[in-house]
Amino acid sequence: MELSQIEHLGIATPSLEAAIPYYENVLGLKCYAIEEVADQKVKTAFFKIGEVKLELLEPTCPESTIAKFIEKNGGRGGIHHIAFKTKDVAAALADAESKGVVLIDKAPRGGAEGLNIAFLHPKSTQSVLTEICENPNEK
């Protein structure tokens, strides 16, 4: 597949309210957007550093995969996934599948910031939950 950059790192947190001051006051970044993604049962907060974003993820209900991640991690947050940018998520998925990668999403779906996204299963990605995303406005 053809990837152009790391689009963002996904970081789970039990509380955006508790986490955001660290990124703003210690790292000096600016939270430029907060968005709830109902489909993924998360509330997100975005920061940008260079061309790369940080996506903080707070679960909005106990069934959220982010809630389960935090529970497994002893109630703490942590790095949850890495997201790579491509021009064509569907093509990247087809390529990955042809190489035996297990897909979480068989087709692109809508993510935060209007991106089309899909996840590859960590059992096929060296244990790193991997997201592939494209910006439909850049097509």
Question: Which residues are near Zn ion by CB under 5 A?
Answer: 10, 55, 83, 131
Query: How near is the Cβ of 96 to Zn ion at its closest, in Å?
Result: 17
- CB-based contacts of 8: which residues, under 8 Å, 6+ apart? 46, 52, 53, 54, 55, 83
- CB-based contacts of 127: which residues, under 8 Å, 6+ apart? none
Cβ proximity to Zn ion: between 3 and 98 the closer is 3
Radius of gyration of the chain (CA): 15
Query: How near is the Cβ of 118 to Zn ion at its closest, in Å?
Result: 11
Cβ proximity to Zn ion: between 10 and 59 the closer is 10
Cβ proximity to Zn ion: between 19 and 83 the closer is 83
